[in-house]
Structure 1
Amino acid sequence: MEFKPCVNICKEWDIVGARQLGREHAKSLGFSTVDQARIATAISELSRNIYLYAETGKICFEVIDQIDRKGLKIVAVDQGPGIQDISQVMQDGYSTSGGLGAGLPGVKRLMDHFEIVSSSKNGTEIETIKWVR
């Protein structure tokens, strides 16, 4: 499935671009400033993971407009080495980069939906959704 628009993550500066585009989408959809910040933080974390662990990938955005609710879907995709132990990286405090380890568990808490698929052959795809309240 192709998502548009996408921001390619190849260099550290791309993290900023992805974050800004996500915040713009969130604002245009009517998210509160608090939820805009949550979304931007989640995007920062997802794109930083791509940059640190996979080197290249993309952050894609999709507006979800249903009869009863609207939301923003954010998908992080890379062809990196994959995550060997998803349950381990989903534990609070776990870090391989020397960071705080808030990473993916933090993203899961910030968003309303979080799904991760990863393999050494195909890399990692993380799908998140935040619904407008």
Structure 2
Amino acid sequence: MSPQSCVKIRKEWDIVSARQLGREMAKKLGFSTVDQARIATAVSELARNIYLYSEEGQICFEVLETIERKGLSMSAIDTGPGITDISQVMQDGYTTSGGLGAGLPGVKRLMDEFDIQSEVGQGTQISTVKWVR
């Protein structure tokens, strides 16, 4: 397992590949089955957003290890239209795709750390971390 692995998201099947890699890395790191499911769900959501809203992007995974703890960092990076109102997309129930609207607020709840950077016309980068308990 390399320190960082990325999955390009271009077609719907790539969402499955990213989800599988995230779950596999989480399992190797010693995450509980519940946290493995949380990570897989977050990856699915992030990858689906890239697929729906951007021409192309990627999900990158990185193993984090310090003396005290270990975790998994996941970044969703795209070159899409960007998000004009981040506070709006971070509201529960907000959806533009007709989905359930769990979206980014759901990802934030599933993970321990969450950061979003977006520039209109440039793209979006969402960085998350889950720590092994």
Same fold (TM over 0.5): yes
TM-score computed with the length of structure 2 as normaliser:
0.97
Kept in 1: contact 2:4–2:63 (CA 8 A): no
> 1:115 offset after TM fit, Å?
0.1
> 1:70 offset after TM fit, Å?
0.3
Aligned to 1:65: 65
TM-score computed with the length of structure 1 as normaliser:
0.97
Distance in 1, matches of 2:42 and 2:102, equals 11
Aligned to 2:126: 126
Aligned to 2:113: 113
Distance in 2, matches of 1:45 and 1:55, equals 16
Aligned to 2:88: 88
> 1:56 offset after TM fit, Å?
1.0
Once the two structures are superposed, residues 72-97 of structure 1 have per-residue CA deviations (whole angstroms, 9 ceiling, x without a partner) of: 00000000000010000000000000
Q: Which amino acid aligns with 1:114?
A: F
> 1:38 offset after TM fit, Å?
0.1
> 1:122 offset after TM fit, Å?
2.4
- Number of residue-to-residue matches in the alignment: 131
> 1:55 offset after TM fit, Å?
2.5
Structure 1 gaps of 5+ residues are none
Once the two structures are superposed, residues 23-78 of structure 1 have per-residue CA deviations (whole angstroms, 9 ceiling, x without a partner) of: 00000000000000000000000000000001310000000001100000000000
Q: What secondary structure, in the 3-state scheme, does the structure 2 residue paired with 1:5 have?
A: strand
Aligned to 1:52: 52
User: Which runs of 4 or more aligned residues in structure 1 lie more than 4 Å from their structure 2 counterparts after TM superposition?
Assistant: none
* Aligned sequence identity (%): 74
